[in-house]
Amino acid sequence: MLVLLERARDVYGYLPDHALTGLADRLGLPVVDVYAVATFYRSLPKRPSGKHIIKVCKSVPCYLKYNGPVIDAIEKELGIGPGQTSRDGLFSLQMVNCIGACDKAPAMMIDDMVFGDLTPDGVSAILAGYR
């Protein structure tokens, strides 16, 4: 089932309801079982994602380096919270446990690019480069 869910995600970019119900019919399973598997994995989003995925580290090193004001600045700049996508469809915001940049805390990733030693003021400039 996981392989089929990943294929549907690759086709649509997320898992629309019709893909889940179709897969349930195909496998002869209740929709709730397919939905349970699909929602267990973060790599299988239920909603369309933005063009750019922002992953903000919420691990202890980033927390100790005051990532709270950085997170607040991102949310204010984009008008969204974690798990949401901006109205223009450019950005989706995710909170993650680690991005492997503890030496650069507080840190975030946009797509595959890591940004470290973040400050609230620096967030605007970084995001402007992706608009």
The pTM (predicted TM-score) of the whole model is 0.74
Q: Which domain holds residue 109?
A: 52-128
For residues 60 and 110, membership in a common domain is answered with yes
The rounded mean pLDDT for the chain is 92
Identify the pLDDT of residue 3. 94
Based on its alpha-carbon atoms, the radius of gyration of the chain, rounded to whole angstroms, reads 17
HEC string of 51-105 equals: CEEEEEECCHHHHHCCHHHHHHHHHHHHCCCCCCECCCCCEEEEEECCCCCHHHC
For residues 101 and 58, membership in a common domain is answered with yes
Residue found by looking up tokens 């991005």 in the block = 99
Mean pLDDT confidence for 28-55: 90
Who's near 19: CB < 8 A, 6+ residues apart? 8, 11, 12
For residues 25 and 68, membership in a common domain is answered with no
Is residue 47 included in any domain, yes or no?
Answer: no
Domain count, the chain: 2
